[in-house]
Structure 1
Amino acid sequence: MWHQTELTLRPYPRGFHLVTREVVSAVPEMAGLKVGLLHVFIQHTSASLTLNENASPDVRRDFERYFNQSVPDGWADFEHRLEGDDDMAAHIKASLLGPSLSLPVRAGRLALGTWQGIYLCEHRDRGGPRRLLLTLTGEK
């Protein structure tokens, strides 16, 4: 079985945001699978996806602080500046974290660890709505 759908997430402020519920809600077909994979792909170059702890908001804030210190907005050596000081830094952060996740499905649910959740990593001050392409495959 194959199924594909597009999910448009509302605009989020800069930071790391749990979107597991939104992703799971967008693929009710997952409930019918015994085993499979959900591939989640973000169709943008200045935001990314990652899987990490879903319990403590401190983790999300620490991620944001780390990436902002490691790849600062408006670094003097950046040449690409057409869309603002946060643009090139956002592209680099998105490349470091990546545009996609492949997640296991078991018994109709994501087979994530106890404390794992899907993060939208918004690297722009005003990134706008973000589109995710969700591709589900598996055995009913």
Structure 2
Amino acid sequence: MRQATHRLTIRTGGKGLIPITHFVTDWITETGIVTGLLTVWCPHTSCSLTVQENADPTVREDIARFFESLVPEQAGRYVHSYEGPDDMPAHLRTMLTQSGLSIPVIDGEPTFGVWQGLYLFEHRRASHHREIVLHLMGEE
């Protein structure tokens, strides 16, 4: 049994879903681990992770639009606004999604379905450098 860890830094361009599948898949290949369990962790409170369709980019647009209506930015609506009007809504959106994922690795690949991809979901308007922590435990 082997373990490997890695930290990815992803630059976001503001709100939206940023595909990160290829970064993760490339790293898994580098580890040489063929069968195991991958943990993907996002140590931030205003962005999150999700597995979602990767074939049609309009899915990402619809998801972003849904979250805008579900958790809108409205001045005066939230007490917490330390970093601006998008701060508290970003925390709520993160709470409604996921900060960590567990993904089986089989034959050296994450076991995504045909239409699935891994995304960093940025909830803030401004561009950020986000860290993603990867931990893979398995066998070669």
- On whether the aligned pair clears a TM of 0.5, the verdict is yes
Q: Which residue pairs with 1:42 in the alignment?
A: 42
- Deviation at residue 34 of structure 1 after TM alignment: 3.3
Please report how far the alpha carbon of residue 25 of structure 1 lies from its aligned counterpart in structure 2 after TM superposition.
Answer: 2.4
Distance 1:14 1:119 in 2: 12
1:1-140 equivalences under 5 Å are: 1-30=2-31, 32-74=32-74, 76-140=76-140
Size of the aligned set, in residue pairs, is 139
C-alpha distance in 2 between matches for 1:55 and 1:28: 23
One-letter amino acid matched to 2:126: R
The farther-off stretch of 65-74 and 75-84 is: 75-84
1: CA distance between counterparts of 2:28 and 2:13? 21
For 1:112, what is the secondary structure of its paired residue?
Answer: coil
TM-score, length-scaled by structure 1: 0.93
SS at 1:121's partner residue? strand
Distance 2:18 2:6 in 1: 21
- Partner Cα distance (2:122, 2:102) in 1: 19
- Matched to 1:22, the amino acid is F
How far apart, CA to CA, are the structure 1 residues paired with 2:77 and 2:11? 32
Distance 2:74 2:44 in 1: 20
Listed as ranges, the gaps of 5+ residues in structure 2 are none
* 1:3 Cα deviation after fit: 0.7
> Residue by residue, what CA displacement relative to the aligned partner does 1:51-76 show, whole Å, maximum 9, x if unpaired?
01010011000000000000001353
User: What displacement does 1:127 show?
Assistant: 4.2
Q: TM-score, normalised on structure 2?
A: 0.93
Residues 4 and 133 in structure 1, CA contact (< 8 A), matched pair in contact too: yes
In 2, the alpha carbon distance for the partners of 1:98 and 1:129 equals 18
Secondary structure in 1 aligned to 2:55?
Answer: coil
Q: Distance in 1 between matches of 2:94 and 2:106?
A: 29
Partners of 1:40 and 1:133 within 8 A in 2:
yes
